[in-house]
Amino acid sequence: MRVTLAKSAACLLLCGWFAAVALPLGWVFLNSLRSSQEFVANPFGLPWFLTGSPPDGRLSLEELDAAGARHDAPEIDLPRQLRTQFDLLDADGNGFITEEEARAAGLGEAQWGRSLRLADRPGSRRAAWKEVKANYAKAWVESRFSSFFTNSIIVTGTSLAGILAVGAMASYVLARFTFAGSRALFLFFISGMMIPAQLVLVPLFFQFTWMSQAGTRLLQPFGLELQMHDSLSGLIVIYIALSLPFTILVLTGFFKTLPGELREAGIMDGCGEYRVFWHIMLPLARPGIITAAIFNFIGLWNEYLFALVFVNAADKKTLPLGLASVSMQSQYKTDFGLLFAALVITIAPTLLVYMLLQRRLTRGITVGALKG
């Protein structure tokens, strides 16, 4: 009896926490599909295309059905070529094709008829879909989330490739070769784990200034200039350098577990050291590399402080930076539809990666705790 009581209490607690995690995220997603006015009117409402009752006195889906629109919805009886042309026909982009628009496109009454007019009444599913997309379209184009997103992809992708390449090479040598100072070198890298990124933030800021000046002076004869501030490559270099200690710690641990005979066998068969690394060791180290990649990906995709310090130009901002600036600019403060859509755009990629790789991620969690 007592055991079942404890068990149901545990269940209750777990379900409660599950709701606390899932509900706010679901709330964000649903509200990204509603206009700001709808949100302000009722923050807990569902998108009207789900409930079927549109705001501001439009016809509901039932009323439309009653008016016979159900049978005439363009999804059903529009000719295929017309359906793909819907956006072309919809000249003013409001989601409804008016009679004038249809006529302007050279369509006769016979071709589009009464059905299309009804189907395009405000409140139709197609009109709803246009509204659903409106927040995302606004965030993506007007608020430049397309650019933030691209920058995030470039920065995270390049940094990740750099970290893994540079880190794997160094880790392999540190793990499998002993030479004068090899132990000291390993400790040198690992000591970086104890350095909070905040310590090097300020010196790097000034270092970038004089590096740009010196680099530009050097490159002047070639008509080039070096810009470290406000450039994605500057950010990438920092990200790679700061991620090395963690990556090297993880990967040396991994390379050490691989049998040493493999290398000797490879050398015997006439492989050079380089080929042994590339064709034998690297493929075997894949699980370790993936673990390092996941934790670095999450850290870099979400990184804010360094991006804030080193990037000012709007066209170089990464997603966290863009999201923060949108949420702090007063002009957007009441554009809730936009804020929710921006949140979804920022969260979705991590959600995707997490869903795909969560097994590896939670299995390698002890490694993740090292990434302080």
Partner 1 sequence: MNRDYGRSIFIAVFLAPALVLFTAFVALPGVRALLYSLQRWDGLTEARWVGLDNFARLFREGDLFLIALGHNLFLLAVAGSLILVLALAFAAMLHRRIRGAGLFRVAFFFPNVIAAVAVALLWILLYSATDFGVINAALGAFQRMCHSFGWDWPRVPLPFPFLDSRYLLYSLIPMMVWSAVGFYMVLFLAAMEGIPEEYYEAAKIDGATPLQQFRHITLPLIREVFTVGVVFLVITSLKFFDPIWVMENQRPTRDSHVLTTLLYQKVFTEYNVGYGSAVAVMLFLLVFCATLISLKLSRAERVEY
Scan residues 239-258 and list those touching partner 1 (CB under 8 A). 240-242, 244-245, 248
Q: Please identify, using beta-carbon distances, which residue of 206 and 222 lies nearer to partner 1.
A: 206
What is the total count of residues that contact partner 1 (CB under 8 A)? 95
Q: Which of 143, 320, 335, 341 binds partner 1 (CB under 8 A)?
A: 320
Residue among 112 and 336 whose Cβ is closer to partner 1: 336
Chain-centroid distance, C-alpha 359:
19
Q: Which of residues 10-69 bind partner 1 (CB under 8 A)?
A: 10-11, 13-14, 17-18, 20-22, 24-25, 27-28, 39-40, 43-44
As measured in angstroms, the least distance from the Cβ of 262 to partner 1 is: 16
Which residue do the tokens 């050079």 mark?
A: 272
195 part of the interface to partner 1, by CB under 8 A: yes
Q: Which of 185, 262, 280, 282 binds partner 1 (CB under 8 A)?
A: 185
Non-local CB neighbours of 89 within 8 Å, separated by 6+ positions: 82, 97, 101, 102, 105, 107
How many Å separate Cα 71 from the centre of its chain? 40
Can you tell me which of 1, 268, 274, 283 binds partner 1, judged by CB under 8 A? 274
Closest by alpha carbon to 322, among 334, 309, 307, 333? 307
How far apart are the C-alpha atoms of 319 and 327, rounded to whole Å?
12
| Shortest reach from residue 83's CB to partner 1, in Å | 37
| Min CB(300)–partner 1 separation in Å | 11
User: Nearest to residue 363, comparing CAs of 299, 296, 288?
Assistant: 288
Residue closer to partner 1, measured from CB, 91 or 324: 324
CA neighbor of 103 nearest in space, from 95, 92, 111: 111
**By the rule CB under 8 A, 343 interacts with partner 1:** yes
Residues 235 and 176: beta-carbon distance below 8 Å: no
CB of 372 to partner 1, least distance (A): 4
Taking the least distance from each CB to partner 1, the nearer of 49 and 336 is 336
Tokens of 136: 């995302």
By the rule CB under 8 A, 336 interacts with partner 1: yes
Instruction: Write the DSSP symbol of residue 227.
Output: -
Least distance in Å: CB of 68 to partner 1?
Answer: 37
Helix 232-257 / helix 286-301 crossing angle, nearest 10 deg: 150
Using CB under 8 A as the binding rule, the residues of this chain from 279 to 318 that contact partner 1 are 298, 301-302, 304-305, 308-309
Nearest Cα to Cα of residue 252 among 197, 178, 196, 195: 178
